């Protein structure tokens, strides 16, 4: 990565939440679910009847009980739920395994066909020339499949760590992978608890991506700075950098 030369920079690492920070996750997941159900309607209609019914809630609950150690691995859990739906539709275990994997592959393709917020790509391109960028997510999006891997030096997900933000393991893991101390890192995310509180508690600075312009008086989750649009981030980070190096 070729970083722009800066006098005595105070920021070496910028970590990004993904869902609802770089893209609209609800719009993305809704589209992915539509693709999944379309595939199931064609290939496993009986299983779709179960997946689309109230029974799926009980199936999800049972999957979580059975695989409590995997509750932070969203891909594993979705495949497990799909498999149980296939089994409930009287498929053999082998067919249930294969169809669950195929169904998930359809969903996951849609999951990574994201609905970017305005200026997401240009902002990442600009920032990647100045800082090392890492993805830090509780979700299961893949930055390579999304098409933004070239801007990131690495990625850490809750599935990798076995914990979810705001758990400190998420932040200590990304700092260790990047080889950067907390005081030289900034985390950007949309969630006041998962992102802002988690980063603050880890000793990092935090930028609350407040895309919807929410008002808050929550002093326990106070960000170092705010941004209301992705295009604002280069200037906000430059301001934090300048403030620390004066």
The full set of domains in the chain, from first to last, is 13-24+114-245 (3.40.50.1000), 27-111 (1.20.120.1600)
Confidence at residue 9, expressed as pLDDT on a 0 to 100 scale: 66
Mean pLDDT for the chain?
Answer: 94
CB neighbourhood size of 116 (10 A): 16
Q: Report d(CA 40, CA 37) in Å as an integer.
A: 5
- What is the predicted pLDDT for the residue at 24? 97
CB neighbour list of residue 26: distance below 8 Å, 6 or more residues apart: none
In tens, the pLDDT along 90-145 reads 999 999 999 999 999 999 999 999 999 999 999 999 999 999 999 999 999 999 99
Q: What is the pLDDT of residue 241?
A: 86
Question: How many C-alpha atoms does 126 have within 13 Å on its Cβ side?
Answer: 14
- How large is the average pLDDT for residues 206-235? 91
């Amino acid at each position: 990565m070729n970083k722009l030369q800066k006098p005595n920079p105070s920021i070496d690492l910028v970590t990004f939440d993904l869902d609802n920070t770089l893209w609209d996750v609800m719009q993305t997941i809704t589209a992915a679910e539509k693709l999944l159900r379309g595939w199931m309607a064609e290939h496993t209609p009986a299983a779709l009847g179960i997946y689309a019914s109230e029974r799926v809630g009980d199936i999800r609950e049972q999957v979580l009980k059975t695989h409590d150690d995997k509750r932070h691995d969203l891909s594993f859990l979705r495949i497990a739920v799909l498999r149980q739906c296939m089994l409930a539709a009287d498929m053999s275990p082998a067919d249930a395994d294969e169809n669950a994997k195929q169904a998930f592959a359809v969903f996951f393709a849609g999951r990574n066909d994201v609905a970017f917020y305005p200026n997401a790509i240009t902002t990442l391109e600009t920032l990647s020339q100045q800082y090392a960028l890492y993805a830090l997510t509780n979700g299961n999006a893949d930055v390579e499949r999304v098409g933004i891997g070239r801007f990131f030096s690495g990625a850490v997900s809750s599935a990798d760590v076995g914990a979810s933000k705001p758990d400190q393991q998420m932040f200590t893991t990304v700092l260790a992978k990047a080889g950067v101390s907390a005081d030289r890192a900034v985390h950007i995310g949309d969630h006041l608890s998962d992102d802002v509180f988690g980063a603050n508690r880890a000793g990092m600075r935090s930028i609350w991506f407040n895309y919807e312009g929410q008002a808050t008086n929550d002093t326990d989750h106070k960000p170092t700075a705010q941004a209301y649009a992705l295009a604002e981030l280069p200037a906000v980070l430059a301001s934090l950098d300048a403030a620390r190096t004066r």
